[in-house]
């Protein structure tokens, strides 16, 4: 989908020099790969930078059935006539701006082949079905992301693809920064924000043993919003942290013990 540019810049709290690197990548017409766990701010960061640079943003949430044709386009029958319909990647190349492919490793393997000509000095998109070759304008930038925690033999980027991108490693923010984020995103009071961040730190220790995914900053923001709305902290943590993190009764019990230890 195309997100029109508006003067309002989505909130994003920088942790390092990621904003500067993104800007340099855009100015030098270089593609960017962002790696990091679920809910650590990858998508928000891209939206922030698109608005900050005054660029339209095309976001594609990749999934198992996403094919090259879904990105590039296909012929459709409309009103009895066969007409070509651009996919989101093709529209972004024609119009300029940022094309963001979220969780690229979830897409089918043929998608990466389509990206290769756009990620070297050619910056072209060949459309085999129409015989057209598009040259990316100076204002076009390709950004992809994925969660290394989901990587396995079947879902990973080939080295030949990875080495076509600059790369940024994202992680969960340090506690002081994560506290700022919770306050900014939910208007929660600083004391509660600090307690929720401390809880998140403790729950992340469990992720190394019993959880497939660590508790995200996004989920902590959800809990903070529920608390600001008047829901008791225990109930807020149950809905925003315990239930989303696991369906296993034993793991949920362990999570509740950590919540009770933190909030009494």
56 and 158 together in one domain: yes
pLDDT at 207 over 80: no
44 and 165 together in one domain: yes
How far from chain centre, in Å, is Cα 66?
17
Among candidate residues 169, 203, 228, the one where a domain is terminated: 169
| pLDDT mean across residues, the chain | 91
pTM of the model: 0.90
Range of the domain at 22: 2-169
129 and 191 together in one domain: no
14 and 79 together in one domain: yes
List, as own/partner pairs, every contact residues 155-163 make where C-beta atoms lie below 8 angstroms and the sequence separation is at least 24, other chains included.
155/105, 155/106, 156/105, 157/33, 157/104, 157/105, 157/112, 158/112, 161/112, 161/115, 161/116, 161/119, 162/33
100 and 144 together in one domain: yes
| Ranges of H-type helices in 32-174 | 42-53, 68-72, 88-95, 110-115, 159-162
pLDDT value of position 212: 77
155 and 215 together in one domain: no
Look at the chain and report how many structural domains it folds into. Answer: 2
Strand partners, 193: none
**Mean pLDDT computed over 177-187:** 97
161 and 189 together in one domain: no
pLDDT band at 153 (very low <50, low <70, confident <90, very high): very low
């Amino acid at each position: 989908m195309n997100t029109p540019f508006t003067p309002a810049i989505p909130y994003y709290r920088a942790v390092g020099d990621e904003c500067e690197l993104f800007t340099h990548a855009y100015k030098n017409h270089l593609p960017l790969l962002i790696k990091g766990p679920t809910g650590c701010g990858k998508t928000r960061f891209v939206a922030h930078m698109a608005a900050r640079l005054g660029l339209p943003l095309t976001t594609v949430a990749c999934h198992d059935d996403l094919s090259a044709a879904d990105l590039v386009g296909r012929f459709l029958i409309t009103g009895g006539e066969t007409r070509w319909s651009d996919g989101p990647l093709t529209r972004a190349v024609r119009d300029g701006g940022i094309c963001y492919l979220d969780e690229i490793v979830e897409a089918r393997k043929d998608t990466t082949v389509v990206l290769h000509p756009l990620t070297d000095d050619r910056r072209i998109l060949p459309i085999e079905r129409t015989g057209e070759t598009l040259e990316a304008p100076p204002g076009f930038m390709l950004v992809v992301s994925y969660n290394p925690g989901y990587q396995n033999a079947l879902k990973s980027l080939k080295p030949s693809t990875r080495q076509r991108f600059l790369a940024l490693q994202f992680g969960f923010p340090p506690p002081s920064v994560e506290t700022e984020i919770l306050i900014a995103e939910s208007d929660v009071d600083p004391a509660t924000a600090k307690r929720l961040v401390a809880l998140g730190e403790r729950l992340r220790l469990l992720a190394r043993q019993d959880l497939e995914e660590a508790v995200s900053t996004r989920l902590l923001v959800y809990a903070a919003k529920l608390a600001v709305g008047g829901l008791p902290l225990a109930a807020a943590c149950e809905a925003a942290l315990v239930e989303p993190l696991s369906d296993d009764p034993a793991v949920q019990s362990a999570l509740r013990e950590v919540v009770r230890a933190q909030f009494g």
